[in-house]
Amino acid sequence: MLKYKIFSFIVFIVFCGKFAASAGLQRDRRQESARDQDDETREPVKYDGAQLWRIPISNEVERNAVAELETKYDGLKWKTVENRVDIMIDKSARESARSYLQNSNITYRILIDDLQKLIEVENPPKEEIELLQNRKGHRLTWKAYHNFNDIVGYLDYLAKTYPDLCSVQTIGTTHEGRALKLLKISNGHPANEAIWIDGGIHAREWISPAVTTYIINHLVENWEELPSYLKNIDWHILPVLNPDGYDYSQKFNRLWRKNRSRNPGSNCRGVDLNRNYGYMWGGEGTSSNPCSEVYRGKGAFSEPETAAVQNFITSQRKGDYFKAFLTFHSYGQYILYPWGYSKAITPDNNDMKLAGTQAATAIRNGSGATYQVGPAAILLYPAAGGSDDWAKGTMGIKYSFTVELRDTGRYGFILPASYIEQSGQEAFNFVDAMARSVTIL
């Protein structure tokens, strides 16, 4: 009898363990997605039947409902603004989550009906990409999303083909050993001021590296016809700030956000690099939990990627050499400026708003797209440790802007490659307007 009871108890424990493991599987594979195993042994995460919902948050009841969707139904927030949240709900939780919202009298709208189907058509087929490549010494096109090696190959091609205009510098090395390649475009005039541009700080925002390379291509290929205010600037452009995460998002988990550093004492990998900069590090909108999507790291500039940016910009600092710091993200169509850590207004808010509004007008005049302009914490939500706050608050770069690229929610992070050229032109129109502003204002 005793043996039977012991056996029954063991069966019960095993059953409970399997049930708990099953219940937590989606959170581990999707939100945390980072058990410390070799990437080569991983199976790519699939999002069959997962949906993206937009939920209004105009009161405390609705805010609590979103929190409940995250904790009880393993919802993954994609975007939060002042009056709404976009949240991904897995297929297995859809019916129970829908019932919960209905019982709470909360409305929602489905933005994406089946995430995996969208992922599978986001990029052209591999064979089509091969045909699109221009065979001019590099593999990059702006009709498809490319891997990190293609992007680095393009930078090296430019330095070799235009040695009097372009140079490539490695400013650091990632956790997994990838080089952080920075391109400088300059006519070499000693009186030039500088503009910094980066992309790809968040791995899943593929449109960001695509448009930063589009900007590079537009500058280089049209250099002789450019106006003087664009030619008399030293352009420092880092197309992919988070190569490890970018590579991981292409191979294993399309929605991976952080870098791929290991966190001692935790099975969850990665730090949100846009919570790791030193200005007001550790404040609101960040987390000390390594499994969080907004994990800030063990300290300011703890990550090799952010430390490399800090070291480079600090080493180049001579007077007010850098006139603007521009970082590209997705999605939502926003032109944001500090502060991000707080809803406090900067003393030069009017100047920032004017420059941002002029850039938004340039975008609208070019494509008709509307970009909202304002302080990040007010227009979206407070988030400390961002690169734009650091550039302005610590480095004194007045015109520090974050651009949230296309779209406004129909595709979200999974923006089809067919939008790259249009988004790239909008990004260039922004950069052109910003360069004009910072050399005049």
Q: Which residues are catalytic?
A: 404
CA distances (Å), 31 to each of 62, 70, 157, in order? Answer: 22, 10, 37
C-alpha distances in Å from residue 268, one per residue of 29, 277, 287: 10, 21, 13
Do 115 and 52 touch, CB atoms closer than 8 A?
yes
| Separation of alpha carbons 147 and 128, rounded Å | 15
Q: Rounded to an integer, what distance in angstroms lies between the CA atom of residue 382 and that of residue 286?
A: 9
Element (H, E) at 374: strand 372-375
177-181 long-range contacts (CB < 8 A, ≥24 apart) are 178/148, 178/243, 178/244, 178/247, 179/152, 179/243, 180/238, 180/241, 180/243, 180/304, 180/305, 180/308, 181/152, 181/155, 181/156, 181/238, 181/239, 181/240
Greatest Cα pair distance, the chain, in angstroms, is 91
Query: Could you give the count of Cα atoms lying within 13 Å of 420 in the half-sphere of its Cβ?
Result: 24
If you count DSSP H runs as helices and E runs as strands, how many of each does the chain have, helices first? Answer: 14, 12
* Helix H or strand E encompassing 198: strand 193-199
Distance between CA atoms of 130 and 123, rounded to whole angstroms? Answer: 12
DSSP string, 276-318: -SSTTTT-TT-BS-TTSTTB--SSTT-SHHHHHHHHHHHHH-S
d(CA 13, CA 7): 10
Structure tokens belonging to residue 54: 């937009």
Closest Cα partner for 68 from 89, 48, 82? 89
